[in-house]
Every structure is written in structure tokens, then in C-alpha cells.
């Protein structure tokens, strides 16, 4: 990157979160010092075989690790903090966040052996702090999680407001509502740029308050004769409080099932974000001995993940709980795109168990944590920035945010549409995409340590779609002659060949390839392997249209 561009200029570079949901990460740079806002992960599509998570490519961070003054977090959702352990292994710098955000992050740091090696600085809302050349204030915003903040970032060229994830909720289940007064304060002072969440921009109107789900949930609880099983995101602390309150009103004790549910309830109670009596929570083993109408199970697995609590309960493979006839199952969460099939499979199993199922398609038991168009306009009108930068969303959401802004009267030249890797350069009067850095994603397998490069992923797809063929030949090193007839092992190659005729013809072909090769070719393993591979490739493609992975094995005799 051209360092001359930073002289008197502010650079904001998104490394994730633009063009796709997840991996939210933004770098602020001025005068040779950098600050990172959020570092999240995303969960893979089904075609990313064997991939557990995807995180931002940290190459740019490695190249500038000596410039990084600190990390600032807006809230504790995985798409904003899930990649923090990987970031800390590249640049171990102080983390600034609200108390609850750090409380949830501690478990992740402990899991990676980083808790004692990491400096964390809890910052309350309304208090300013410094990271390098930046002075930041946390401003309270509403979201599906608690203790979420927007950032007011004072830079040498002007104030930047980063909304984080937000909606305008005047009646949250707990805590104070979004602090529009403080946002207006900065708007009155003058804001250079607003970086605003675009997730829900395609929806008109306002996003409902978290309290909007209470009436439907009240009806379900009051009508349920057996156990009530509620699955929601373990980070939806407002929703958890509602469930605990309704369980208490209906004389039900609550059992927690799922590691993240247990952990998040523990942290939320520790920091005063859940008001729950000790005797209201029981263990799953005790819940089994209670009458069904005395029990509520609060479980993970709203997205149908195969190893999650609810999915395993639906097929009787969970050690602590299962679903029985007469249960009422409430799935109080949105379907994340890409999870539709897994959720459908899980629901099919639940229906077979004789349970009654409620999801957001038949009852208002979920509201989003992201603002719709009118929420975004309320934020814009409060801040009144010189420039608007849509963030957090797929490309179409970013463009529709820009369209909505133009309908509010925002001039086209005051809207900056960027992509991951774009270096957006600001001074007091202008904003432009000055250059681009190389960005991408890093794929992590389920060991959480192994990186998966594109070659490995390509091979996995190849194996999944077309299978594998292993021709095995034994060649005498001295004479170059075959010691026995070639053998062929195949797995996953879709052929209807009950008689084995196809494989017999393939064996004959391998024998002909060796017979037609010179002595020097037959005794050079690299050469003869490649000849076998190419001849088999042409034969199989001509006969079947398939392109399996072919790995010749030559045994030296």
C-alpha cells in the first residue's frame, strides 16, 4: 500500500462484511497507525466440503501488524467476534468492548488457550477511550443481543459513526433503548461519514420491538399441555428473558440443553442481563423426573445443525434429553439462508415424534435484530453525515441501501459503495476509493486449526461429485515387465456395471498402456503413472462422461 496516501488522510478498509453476510471486519488507518473494528466468521455453504467456518483473510493484517494499536468490538455475535482468536495469533493487541461482550468472548479465548495472553479492556457506554490516533465513544444501540454499541470515532479529519448491528427499539425487554439523543449530539457537531448496517434494508417500515413476540409466546405457553421446548439463538438474551418469565408465569422450571445455551445464560446472569431465580433452573436429569406440564427445555439448534441439541433430540441421540409425544416445540429464530434443508429435516423428525411445532411461519415468535428502511432513515436523520457508506450485507443490500438513501434526498456523490478490500480514503471534504488491497477468506476445518486452501477444496469437490479410481500395477524394476495383471479399485464412480465389464476393460487398457511404453518409460514411475492416468481419463470420460480423480499406484518389484 502507498504510505504517502495516509498523509493527512483517513483510510477505512473493510476486510469482510461487504458482499456477503458474516466475516464483518473493518480497518481504520491514519498516520501509520491502525485500529480494527470487529473480526467475525461466517458459516460455510454446503458446497464447502469439510469446512467448519470461514474467516477473513488476515494477510493484510500480517503485513501491517506493527501498526495495529488495538481491536474494538461492537457486540458479541459470531459474525463480529468469531474470528478474534485467529486474529490474536497474528496481532495480539488489546481488545476494547463492553463488559458483556468480553464476558462472552472469554469462553472463546479460553478454548483457544489465549485467555491469559490477551489484554481486554471493558468500556462502559458513554465513556471515551483512545486507540492510537482515534478517540472512540460507545453509544448504546438496540439489537437482538444486549450490550451492543455503535461507535463514534473521532479522527483527525472528522467524526465517523459505525452503527454495528442495530434497530430502533424504544421498548427493549431489558436495559435502555437506543441512545438517539447521543447520536443527535454527534449529528449536531458534524459527522464526516456514517457506516451503516444494511442487513434488513429490503424490508420497508420499522423492525418490531423484541416485546412483539410476547403475545404469541404467551398463547403457546398457556395452551401447552405437555413439555414446552424452545429453541432460539443462545445470544438472544432478550428472548431468553421472555422465555424464563413465561415459564415462571406458567409454573414451569427451565432446563438448559446445549453448551452455548448454558454458557450464555451463565454469563448473562453474572453481568445482570438475565433476571432469573436460582430455583427456576433445573438440570435436564431432574426435568426428566418432573411432570411434563412443569417443564420447559431451553435448547440450542434452531438452525437444524446436525450436532446441535434440538437436532439430536429429534432423533433420540442426545444424552440429556429427547422429544416425546405431546411436546410443544417452539423454534423462535429466523432461518438463516442456506439452512432451510437442515431445518426441514429436523422438523420432519419432530413431527414424527408426535410434537406440535411452532415457527415464525405460523406465529409471530421472532423479530429481527436489524433495522428496516425506516430504522435506517432514523439513524441517518440523527447523524446527518456528509458521506454514507452502506456496510453489512450482500451486494444487493448495499445497493438498495444506496437507493433508499437517494429517496431520502441524499446526493449520489455523497454515497460510497465499496467492496471488501477497497481502501476508502477521507479528508475533511472528500471520500473516494483510492486503491484496493487483496482480500479473501480463509477456510478452517473442524479442528479449528487447519487451514483449507482452494486446492484441497477442489479435490474434495472432485471426489464428492465423480469419485476416485486407483489403478495398481506391479512392475519389475530390472526388466520393466508387469509382474501381475493390473488391479483397479474405484469408489464413488457412478457406473451400472454389475458384471464388472467396465473395470475389466479398464484393466486391459492399463495393461496395453504399459505394454506400449518403452523400457525407460516403464521404469520411470513418474512417467508411467502419468501415462496410465491420461489414458484412463480419456477412456472413462468417453465411456461415462465422468471425470473421477485417478491416482495410479506403481509397486516396485
Task: Note whether 139 and 150 are within 8 A (CB).
Answer: yes
Query: Is 52 among the residues known to form the active site?
Result: no
Q: Between 351 and 494, name the one with better pLDDT.
A: 351
Of 333-342, 385-394, 411-420, which gets the smallest average pLDDT?
Answer: 333-342
Grid cell at residue 302: 434452531
Give residues with Cβ within 8 angstroms of 88, minimum separation 6.
109, 112, 114, 117, 118
Question: What CATH number is associated with residue 26?
Answer: 3.60.15.10
Given 324, 358, 392, the domain boundary residue is 358
Which residues form the domain of 327?
A: 210-358
> Tell me: the pLDDT tens digits for 506-549?
889 999 998 898 888 888 878 888 889 899 888 888 888 777 88
Instruction: Round the average pLDDT of the chain to a whole number and report it.
Output: 90
Number of domain units in the chain? 3
Active-site position among 318, 370, 392, 401: 370
pLDDT (average), residues 274-297: 95
Alpha helices in 48-138 (DSSP H): 59-63, 78-81, 84-90, 99-111
pLDDT at 206: 96
What single-letter DSSP state applies at residue 173? S
Grid cell at residue 269: 446472569
- 376 lies in the same domain as 328: no
- 69 lies in the same domain as 198: yes
**Most confidently modeled of 115-124, 332-341, 445-454, 475-484?**
115-124
DSSP reduced 3-state for 273: coil
- 185 lies in the same domain as 214: no
Name the strand (E) or helix (H) holding 248. Answer: helix 237-249
> Tell me: the pLDDT tens digits for 266-275?
999 999 999 9
Alpha carbons 404 and 398: distance in angstroms, whole number: 10
pLDDT at 189: 96
pLDDT at 46: 54
- 389 lies in the same domain as 428: yes
26: closest CA among 42, 8, 40, 5? 40
pLDDT at 529: 87
pLDDT (average), residues 407-415: 96
Q: Between 88 and 50, name the one with better pLDDT.
A: 88
pLDDT at 27: 98
Query: Is 381 among the residues known to form the active site?
Result: no
At residue 336 the predicted structure's pLDDT band, cuts being 50, 70 and 90, is confident
Question: What CATH number is associated with residue 326?
Answer: 3.40.50.10710
* Residue carrying C-alpha cell 415457527: 359
pLDDT (average), residues 211-237: 95
> Tell me: the pLDDT tens digits for 20-64?
888 999 999 999 999 999 999 987 655 544 556 788 999 999 999
Task: Note whether 95 and 102 are within 8 A (CB).
Answer: yes
Of 150-154, 174-178, 248-252, 396-400, which gets the smallest average pLDDT?
Answer: 174-178
Q: Is the dihedral of CA 200, 389, 83, 440 positive or negative?
A: positive
482 lies in some domain:
yes
Distances (CA, A) of 422 to 15, 81, 435: 8, 22, 6
pLDDT at 42: 83
409 lies in some domain:
yes
Hey, which bits of 275-401 come out as E strands? Answer: 281-282, 295-299, 328-331, 356-358, 385-391, 393-394
Give residues with Cβ within 8 angstroms of 291, minimum separation 6.
none
Is the confidence at residue 1, as pLDDT, over 50? no
- 277 lies in the same domain as 395: no
309 phi and psi angles, rounded to 5 deg:
-60, -50
Active-site position among 169, 197, 245, 359: 197
- 122 lies in the same domain as 23: yes
- 77 lies in the same domain as 154: yes
- 12 lies in the same domain as 144: yes
At residue 334 the predicted structure's pLDDT band, cuts being 50, 70 and 90, is confident
- 102 lies in the same domain as 166: yes
pLDDT (average), residues 177-182: 96
Name the strand (E) or helix (H) holding 160. Answer: strand 158-162
pTM: 0.81
Q: Is the dihedral of CA 402, 403, 408, 414 positive or negative?
A: positive
363 lies in some domain:
no
Q: Is the dihedral of CA 56, 58, 64, 66 positive or negative?
A: positive
Instruction: Calculate the CA 99 to chain-centre distance.
Output: 22
Q: Alpha-carbon Rg of the chain, whole angstroms?
A: 29
- 241 lies in the same domain as 314: yes
Amino acid at each position: 500500500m502507498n504510505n504517502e496516501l495516509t498523509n493527512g488522510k483517513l483510510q477505512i478498509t473493510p476486510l469482510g462484511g461487504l458482499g456477503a453476510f458474516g466475516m464483518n471486519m473493518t480497518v481504520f488507518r491514519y498516520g501509520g497507525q491502525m485500529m480494527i473494528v470487529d473480526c467475525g466468521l461466517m458459516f460455510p455453504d454446503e458446497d464447502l466440503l469439510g469446512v467448519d467456518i470461514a474467516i477473513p483473510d488476515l494477510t493484510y493484517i500480517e503485513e501491517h501488524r506493527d501498526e495495529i494499536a488495538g481491536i474494538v468490538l461492537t457486540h458479541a455475535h459470531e459474525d463480529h467476534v468469531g474470528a478474534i482468536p485467529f486474529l490474536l495469533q497474528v496481532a495480539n493487541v488489546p481488545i476494547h468492548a463492553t463488559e458483556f461482550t468480553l464476558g462472552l468472548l472469554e469462553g472463546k479465548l479460553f478454548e483457544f488457550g489465549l485467555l491469559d495472553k490477551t489484554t481486554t479492556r471493558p468500556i462502559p457506554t458513554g465513556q471515551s477511550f483512545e486507540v492510537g490516533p482515534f478517540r472512540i465513544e460507545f453509544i448504546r444501540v438496540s439489537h437482538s443481543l444486549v450490550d451492543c454499541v455503535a461507535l463514534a470515532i473521532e479522527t483527525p479529519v472528522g467524526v465517523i459513526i459505525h452503527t454495528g448491528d442495530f434497530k430502533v427499539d424504544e421498548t427493549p425487554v431489558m436495559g435502555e433503548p437506543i441512545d438517539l439523543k447521543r447520536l443527535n449530539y454527534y449529528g449536531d457537531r458534524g459527522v464526516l461519514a456514517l457506516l451503516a448496517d444494511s442487513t434488513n434494508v429490503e424490508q420497508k417500515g420499522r423492525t418490531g420491538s423484541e416485546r412483539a413476540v410476547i403475545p404469541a409466546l404467551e398463547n403457546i405457553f398457556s395452551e401447552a399441555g405437555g413439555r414446552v421446548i424452545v429453541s432460539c439463538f443462545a445470544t438472544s438474551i432478550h428472548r431468553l428473558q421472555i422465555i424464563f418469565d413465561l415459564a415462571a408465569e406458567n409454573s414451569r422450571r427451565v432446563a438448559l440443553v446445549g453448551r452455548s445455551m448454558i454458557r450464555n445464560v451463565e454469563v448473562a446472569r453474572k453481568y445482570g442481563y438475565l433476571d432469573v431465580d436460582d430455583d427456576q433452573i433445573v438440570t435436564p436429569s431432574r426435568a426428566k423426573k418432573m411432570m411434563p406440564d412443569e417443564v420447559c427445555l431451553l435448547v440450542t439448534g434452531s438452525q437444524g445443525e446436525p450436532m446441535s441439541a434440538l437436532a439430536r433430540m429429534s432423533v433420540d441421540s442426545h444424552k440429556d434429553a429427547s422429544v416425546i409425544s405431546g411436546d410443544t416445540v417452539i423454534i423462535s429464530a429466523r432461518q438463516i439462508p442456506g439452512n432451510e434443508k437442515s431445518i426441514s429435516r429436523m422438523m420432519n423428525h419432530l413431527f414424527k415424534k408426535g410434537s406440535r411445532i411452532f415457527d415464525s411461519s405460523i406465529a409471530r415468535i421472532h423479530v429481527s435484530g436489524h433495522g428496516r428502511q425506516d430504522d435506517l432513515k432514523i439513524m441517518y436523520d440523527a447523524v446527518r453525515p456528509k458521506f454514507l457508506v452502506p456496510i453489512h450485507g450482500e451486494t444487493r443490500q448495499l445497493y438498495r441501501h444506496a437507493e433508499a438513501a437517494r429517496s431520502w434526498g441524499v446526493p449520489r456523490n455523497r454515497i460510497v459503495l465499496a467492496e471488501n478490500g477497497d481502501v476508502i480514503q477521507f479528508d475533511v471534504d472528500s471520500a473516494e476509493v483510492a486503491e484496493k488491497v487483496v482480500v479473501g477468506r480463509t477456510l478452517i476445518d473442524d479442528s479449528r486449526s487447519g487451514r483449507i486452501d482452494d486446492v484441497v477444496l477442489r479435490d474434495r469437490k472432485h471426489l464428492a461429485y465423480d469419485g476416485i479410481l486407483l489403478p495398481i500395477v506391479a512392475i519389475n524394476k530390472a526388466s520393466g515387465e508387469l509382474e501381475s495383471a493390473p488391479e483397479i479399485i474405484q469408489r464413488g464412480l457412478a457406473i451400472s456395471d454389475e458384471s464388472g465389464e467396465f473395470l475389466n476393460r479398464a484393466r486391459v487398457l492399463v495393461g496395453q498402456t504399459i505394454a506400449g511404453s518403452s523400457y525407460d518409460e516403464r521404469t520411470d514411475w513418474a512417467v508411467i503413472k502419468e501415462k496410465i492416468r491420461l489414458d484412463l481419463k480419456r477412456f472413462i470420460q468417453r465411456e461415462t462422461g465422468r471425470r473421477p480423480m485417478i491416482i495410479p499406484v506403481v509397486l516396485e518389484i
